[in-house]
């Protein structure tokens, strides 16, 4: 199968493919998603196959608006309405009870809940509106690899396995959406993202807990995706928490450094061995996955050092993804 790129003007071609049960990747403000008609069980199953994703890891359902979501949610609780009013369209995914029988089991992994997302991307919302039904939207990467933040990343991972990719340019945020579970007594963040627990808490006017799940392979995790290897390039990743430690590292042809400009300036590395996170946490969020992919494509790189950011709510999402990519490995100064 040849994977075609679609421009904004060719949206109707993408709609037609999705309607037929084919897979089309789509842009969002967070990362690119892998779309399939959510009501078509066969199409949904082929998403797992294309990504190499374990079949018990449920998929996000991407809707054009709240009205579309209402057809698939058992009910829309008051908390959800408040959050939708404030944050949709935007990088917030809501976990609600599914309306029984409205979606194939392949979407929910057999759970009673379903994750709803309405992305801040006009092209994608109009795609879904034209289709007239939601699309599933896992990140459009090969399972275990960093999520794609450009159409080229998607092509790199899924060329030949999907019908098309809608090119919407680089994703604004660069890390996946915040997931909040509203199916439980007290709302809890299952995956941190650009929208922080504090922001959610202030809109809901109640405490919002964080449980990014210290799940093991044995436990039944609340967000099933959390138990799998994630965001990992082939070379091992190590988090460097203290800027001063970069000068102690044994940097050479086989190492890669992903850090802010201020750090890279002092290290004087060749282009093949460094990747810039820009000048702020926002640009770091935007570029982290791109950086991990940059070194993943270079065989000579055997070790990747990545700058850590600690302490604030704003860095929760970045550190959550980085810790997974590094499997918890942090540099220990001697
Ligand atoms: O920003 C995003 O959310 C991106 C863009 C493409 O929309 N999508 C995304 O999807 O990150 P994915 O599948 O890569 O991550 C969704 C996470 C997975 O860890 C999955 O286990 C969890 O959400 N999830 C989905 N449905 C769930 C459910 N019913 N209960 C618990 N966790 C669920
Ligand atoms: Mg993913």
Ligand 1 centroid to 246 CA: how many Å? 34
Considering the domain boundaries, does residue 226 fall inside one? no
> Exposed, middle or buried by CB within 10 Å (0-12, 13-18, 19+), for 228?
middle
Pocket test for ligand 1, best of 24, 72, 117, 179 (most atoms within 8 A of CB): 179
In terms of residue numbers, what domain contains 313?
237-325
User: pLDDT band at 334, cuts 50/70/90?
Assistant: confident
- Ligand 1: distance of its center to the CA of 282 in Å? 22
Residue 218 has pLDDT above 60, yes or no: no
Pairing of strands 24-26, 164-166: parallel
With a 6 Å cutoff on the Cβ, whether 93 touches ligand 1 is yes
pLDDT at 221 over 70: no
Dist. CA 129–CA 145, nearest whole Å = 30
* CA 48 to ligand 1 centroid distance, Å: 13
Domain end position, chosen among 210, 228, 262: 210
pLDDT at 329 over 90: yes
Report the predicted TM-score, pTM, of the whole model to 2 decimal places: 0.95
Please tell me the predicted confidence (pLDDT) of residue 112: 96
Distance CA 112, CA 184 (A): 12
Pocket test for ligand 1, best of 58, 90, 157 (most atoms within 8 A of CB): 58
Last residue of a domain, one of 210, 245, 272: 210
In a domain, 230, yes or no: no
- Shared domain for 165 and 259, answered yes or no, is no
Ligand 1 close to Cβ of residue 194 (< 6 A): no
9 and 63: one domain? Answer: yes
Is 197 in the same domain as 252?
no
Residue nearest to atom 12 of ligand 1 (CA): 138
Lowest mean pLDDT among 48-57, 148-157, 227-236: 227-236
318 shares a domain with 269: yes
Same domain, 191 and 257: no
Question: Residues 55, 186: one domain?
Answer: yes
When the pLDDT of each residue in the chain is averaged and rounded to a whole number, the result is: 93
**In the chain, where does DSSP find H-type helix?**
11-19, 41-51, 66-70, 78-87, 105-108, 122-131, 151-158, 197-204, 261-267, 281-296, 316-325
Q: How many CB atoms lie within 10 A of CB 213?
A: 17
Provide the 10 A C-beta neighbour count for residue 167.
20
Q: Assign residue 54 the CATH number of its domain.
A: 3.90.870.10
Round to whole Å and give the CA distance between 69 and 62.
9
Provide the angle, in degrees to the nearest 10, between the axes of the packed helices 281-296 and 151-158. Answer: 30
Tens digits of per-residue pLDDT, 58-71?
Answer: 999 999 999 999 99
Give me the number of domains the chain comprises. 2
In a domain, 227, yes or no: no
pLDDT tens for each residue of 280-292: 999 999 999 999 9
């Amino acid at each position: 199968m040849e994977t075609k790129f679609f421009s904004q003007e060719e949206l109707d071609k993408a709609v037609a493919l999705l309607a037929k049960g084919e897979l089309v990747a789509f842009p969002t403000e967070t990362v690119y998603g892998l779309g399939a008609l959510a009501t078509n069980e066969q199409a949904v199953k082929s998403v797992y196959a294309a990504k190499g994703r374990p079949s018990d890891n449920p998929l996000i359902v991407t809707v054009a608006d709240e009205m579309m979501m209402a057809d698939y949610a058992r009910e829309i609780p008051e908390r959800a309405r408040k959050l939708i009013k404030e944050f949709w369209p935007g990088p917030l995914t809501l976990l609600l009870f599914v309306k029984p029988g409205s979606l194939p089991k392949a979407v929910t992994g057999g759970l009673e809940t379903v994750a709803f997302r309405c992305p801040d991307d006009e092209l994608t919302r109009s795609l879904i509106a034209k289709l007239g039904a939601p699309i599933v939207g896992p990140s459009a990467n090969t399972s275990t690899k960093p999520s794609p933040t450009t159409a080229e990343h998607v092509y790199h991972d899924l060329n030949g396995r999907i019908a098309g990719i809608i090119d919407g340019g680089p994703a604004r945020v660069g890390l996946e959406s915040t997931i909040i579970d509203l199916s439980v007594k007290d709302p809890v963040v299952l995956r941190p993202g650009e929208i922080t627990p504090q922001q959610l808490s202030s809109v809901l006017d109640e405490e919002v807990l964080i449980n990014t799940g210290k799940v093991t392979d044995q436990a039944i995790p609340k967000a099933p995706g959390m138990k799998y290897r994630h965001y990992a390039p082939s070379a091992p990743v190590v988090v460097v928490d203290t800027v001063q430690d970069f000068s102690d590292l044994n940097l050479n042809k086989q190492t890669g450094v992903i850090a802010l400009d201020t750090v890279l300036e002092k290290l004087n590395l060749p282009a093949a061995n460094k990747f810039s996170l820009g000048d702020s946490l926002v640009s770091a969020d935007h570029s982290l996955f791109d950086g991990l992919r940059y070194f993943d494509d270079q065989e000579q790189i055997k070790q990747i050092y990545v700058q850590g950011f600690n302490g604030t709510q704003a860095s929760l999402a970045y550190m959550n993804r980085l810790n997974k990519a590094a499997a918890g490995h942090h540099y220990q100064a001697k």
